Each structure stands twice: as C-alpha cells, then as structure tokens.
Structure 1
Amino acid sequence: MSQLLTLEVPDNARPVRLDTARGVFAAFDVAPAGHAPARATALLVPGFMGSKEDFLPLLSTLSDGGVRVLAVDGRGQYETGAASPDPSYSRDNLARDLAALVEGVGAGPVHLVGHSYGGLLARAAVLGTQGDPSLWASVTLVNFGPAGVSSRQQERLRLLLSVIDSMTLAEMWPFVRNDEVPAPREVDLFMERRWLRNAPEHLSAAAEQMLNEVDETPRLAQLPIPKFVVSGTPDETWAPEGVERMARELGARCCKIEGGGHSPNVHRPAETASALLGFWNSCQERVAV
C-alpha cells in the first residue's frame, strides 16, 4: 500500500463522477492552470489498495504544464465502489473500464499513466485496444514490472488471499497499514477509511492477477504507441533489473527516480511530474514533425 503524506487538493481539482458505458467512476478532474486550453489530457490509474488521492502531489505541476488531468478510483476502489451492477474484477474487464472512461469523457487520445497494479491494467487496456490512437496518445508504466511481483510481495499477497474470506477488512487493517513513513493524523484516518471501502472481491482478484501476470512485453513492444517507464527506487514490489529489461525491450524511455521508492508520485512528486511533462512534450513534438 502506498503511503500518502498529504491530502491537500489543488483549488482547480474538481471531485466528479464520470458516467461511462461501463458505470460511474469517482475522479478528480483538474483543468490546466490559468483557464488555458488543454495542451493534452492525462488519465492517471492508481495501484493496488490505492485511489485517485495517490496522485495529489502531481496535480498542480501537471496543471501548470497545461495538461488536463483525470485521476480516477478504479472499479472496486474507494469512492467508485462497484461502478455498475454485477461487477466483474477480471483484468480484461478493468482494462475495458479505462477505455470506457476515455470514450465517456470524450477526452481522447489521452496520455495513460498506470502506477504499480495500475500499470498492469494500463498495459492490458492498450493491448486490448491494439494501441488505438483515438484512445491513447502514450502509455507510462510507473513502478510496474514485466510479469508477476517479487517473491517477497508474493508472500504478502498469498497471506492476504488466505484470510480475506475469513476476516473483515477492519480486522485486517492493523496488518496491512503502512507505518514505515510517519504521516499526519488526518492522513492515517484517510488511509484506514479508504481501505475499508475497498471491495474485497476486487482485492482478491487484483492479488491473483499480480501473482499470475505473464510477461506481455513483446506484445506491447510491437505497438507503435509511445512508451515510458518510470522507476522509483528502492522498490521491492518488482525487481529493478526486470523493470529495466522491460524498458529496453519496449524501446521505451526510462527514468529512474532515486528516493522515490514504490511511489515516486508521493515521495518525489516534482521529479515525477517533470519527467511526465518532458515525455508528453516529446510525444507532441514527434506528432508535429
């Protein structure tokens, strides 16, 4: 679980409910600073146990860069919940949600950014649509590796799966909370509230997917969509050498953010936002040539 340090929301970040063909999703919709027309639109997808709030530290800088930002709670997460009747939490269904969000908002093509498990879904969304250029201007994978998680994280996920049917989320909270980085009291309370609003079925499905994901790097490499890999270090979730190999095989730009840990968006937001803006600018320059 990523550790938030602040809940400060920029003045121009509107909490919204986005209606799509696949349900209703909670999001922050952040306009470019100064009411200028958006130079680009970005869709930010959080990781396992995460939410749109994981991206709060990035929003002002991305907005100042002229980008409209949509940061979402995925199906089964925090304020989105089930999103629609009879929800499915399979990888491919969650990936279809991302395409539906772009179509529902009418914001395509967007720069798609997936953090951790969100990277797994972002990759699946791009592959499932064959990199449709009407949907995706680029894809960025943040602290996501080519296949399943590291052996240490596998142990944690298997432990969660062993108890999730016999314990309530409230009973599990003391064991999943992140105490490694001190945070203000209001942040701790938010983290607990967010955890309790997860759909247990989503947690189970996501854990299984992170354990069993196969390496789709060759398939993604074949698509002409611009690709970017951001790696905060140190990170124990995906082995760094695997992440670097994935970037090479994708032919992707790769940015290592020292001290970013598993969540450079939280621990090194200025560097992360700058890297994203630089990449997105390069994408626009390539289109203009």
Structure 2
Amino acid sequence: MGSFAMLEARPLTDVVERWPALLVPGYTGSKEDFIAILQTLAQAGRRVFAIDLRGQFESPGPDDPAAYTCAALGADVDVITSLVGDGEPVHLLGHSFGGLVTRETVLDGTAKLASYTLMSSGPGGIVGPRERAGRTMLAELPTLGVERMWSERLEPEALRAGVPDDIIDFLRRRLFANSLTGLLAMGRAVLDAPDRLDELCQTGLATLVLYGERDDGWPPAMQAEMADRLDCDCVVVPGAVHSPAVEAPETTAAALTRFWNAAESAILHR
C-alpha cells in the first residue's frame, strides 16, 4: 500500500465526542485543499483527516499506471478509512476526482462508513471546459513535461487570475512533486469514468451532494440530477465554483457538520 501524507485536525478542547471524517482531494489536488475547513469541522467534536492520494504531492507512488485507477485508489482509501476510524464509522468525502475514487470505496462495501459526501463531483467522467482542458493536457504533457506545462500554461493562468505569489509557489511545488505516471493515469480516469450511480443507489448509505452554484466542472444541473437519482440531500454553495472548501469555507463546513451530525443521530437512534 505504501505511505500516505495526512493532515489531522482535532477539537481545541481535545474532547472527541463524534465519529471521524476523511476528506479525499481531486485530480492535481492535495490535502491542503481542505485546510480552510479542517479546524472548523473539528470544532464539532470530531477528528478530521485530509490525505494526499497515492502519487499526489507528499504521498509517493510507483511508475505503474495500474496503481492510479479509481479502483486501486479506492482500495487505498478503504484501508485508510479503517485506520482513521479505529473501529468507529467514518464520514467519507470525495472532492471532484476524489468523488470518483471514494465511490469505489463505498461500492466495495468493506469500509465502515457513517455517511458519504460527493463534493463538486459527478456521475461519471468530467465534462465541459474542464474536460476539454484535461484532454489537451493529457495530449501535451508527455511531450512538454511538467515544467514546461507549468511555465507555459498553468503559471500564466494563475497570474492572470490574480493568485497571490505564495499560493503560486505552493501550486508549483505541489505540481512538480506529483508522479508523472499518476498525473497521466488519473487524468484519463477523471475523463473516462463510467456512470455508477445505479450501483451507488443500492448502498443505502446517507449521502450528500454538495457543489458551488457556478461549478465549471460537472454542471450544477448535472449534480442536482445526480442528487435526485440518489434520492439524497443536496446543498448548493452560493458564490462557489469548483472548490467550495476554498471559496466558501464557513458555508461548506456548516453544511457538512449539519449533515454529519444528522447521519450520526439517525444511525444511533435506529
């Protein structure tokens, strides 16, 4: 399985009264994508963990494309869930590509889960502008390499968007630390993942679909339809695009805490 980099937040009182949560990032993301919500979530009385997937940032990965399929990464999450839960049910969240990975964990059925959240994710492969950008990147990355991709494409985009210098420096370090094999294999997975919602409907697990009102990954209408198909709770985060935990952390953390607390209460009062 290997080793995985992880962030953990605990209540400031260090009194843990609720079940833990595990947050899984998206493609080219990392555990740091959840920093703005970790401590707020922990203040509800639970331990909250965020990880780098295999091959992402500070989690090493092999030069084997088979290690980066949704199924393989989902199996990693399964094991990590058992470790952080330590016998207790875990609230599992997948952001974007992390949603495609974590649904494999859910469908495997061996993890002890309290609830499941799909954040800015979809029923299958990503669509729209992010799909087009992803296919272009996959076509060019083997030739350009990560450094030229950063200097010629990604860094200029970040500068035009007004991203602060310290964040640009972090994004550069993170991208360069990623496994090239992982970038290519995970990129194909996020583009070509099949729709598995019908299977997910059969799990009976308390599920939340949460997304930004201006999501430019899977369209908001598609995510709303996904929630309807799953017959589950749905939260639209005002002002957010594809990363509600970054763009609207307080609203996102409040919605997650409400959902997690309700899911725990439902299980305990069965």
TM-score by length of 2: 0.93
Equivalent position amino acid for 1:45 in 2: V
Instruction: Deviation per CA, 1:39-62: give whole Å up to 9, x if none.
Output: 120000011110000000001211
Instruction: Look up the SS of the partner of 1:164 in the other structure.
Output: helix
Which residue is equivalent to 1:227? 207
Q: Distance in 2 between matches of 1:144 and 1:242?
A: 10
Aligned length: 264
Which residue is equivalent to 2:123? 146
Match of 1:273 among 253, 259, 263: 253
1:112 is the counterpart of 2:87: no
Higher strand share: 1
Which residue is equivalent to 1:161? 138
Instruction: Look up the SS of the partner of 1:71 in the other structure.
Output: strand
Mapping of residues 31-70 of structure 1, within 5 Å: 31-70=10-49
CA RMSD of aligned residues (A): 1.6
Q: Distance in 1 between matches of 2:130 and 2:137?
A: 11
1:186 is the counterpart of 2:163: no
Instruction: Look up the SS of the partner of 1:65 in the other structure.
Output: coil
Q: Distance in 1 between matches of 2:251 and 2:82?
A: 30
Match of 2:80 among 101, 107, 125: 101
Which residue is equivalent to 1:15? none
Higher helix share: 2
8 Å Cα contact 1:38/1:68 also seen in 2: no
Q: Distance in 2 between matches of 1:253 and 1:215?
A: 19
Q: Distance in 1 between matches of 2:261 and 2:243?
A: 23
Instruction: Deviation per CA, 1:230-278: give whole Å up to 9, x if none.
Output: 0112011112111111101101100000111100100100000000000
8 Å Cα contact 2:92/2:115 also seen in 1: yes
TM-score by length of 1: 0.87
Mapping of residues 170-249 of structure 1, within 5 Å: 170-174=147-151, 175-177=153-155, 178-179=157-158, 181-249=161-229
Q: List runs of 5+ in structure 2 lacking aligned partners.
A: none
Alignment CA distance shift 1:257-1:194 (3 Å): same
Offset at residue 163 of structure 1 (A): 1.5
Instruction: Look up the SS of the partner of 2:138 in the other structure.
Output: helix
8 Å Cα contact 2:20/2:90 also seen in 1: yes
Instruction: Look up the SS of the partner of 2:212 in the other structure.
Output: strand
Instruction: Look up the SS of the partner of 1:173 in the other structure.
Output: helix
Q: Distance in 2 between matches of 1:64 and 1:158?
A: 40
Q: Distance in 2 between matches of 1:72 and 1:117?
A: 14
Alignment CA distance shift 1:85-1:183 (3 Å): closer
- What is the aligned-residue identity percentage? 35
Instruction: Look up the SS of the partner of 2:144 in the other structure.
Output: coil
Which residue is equivalent to 1:14? none
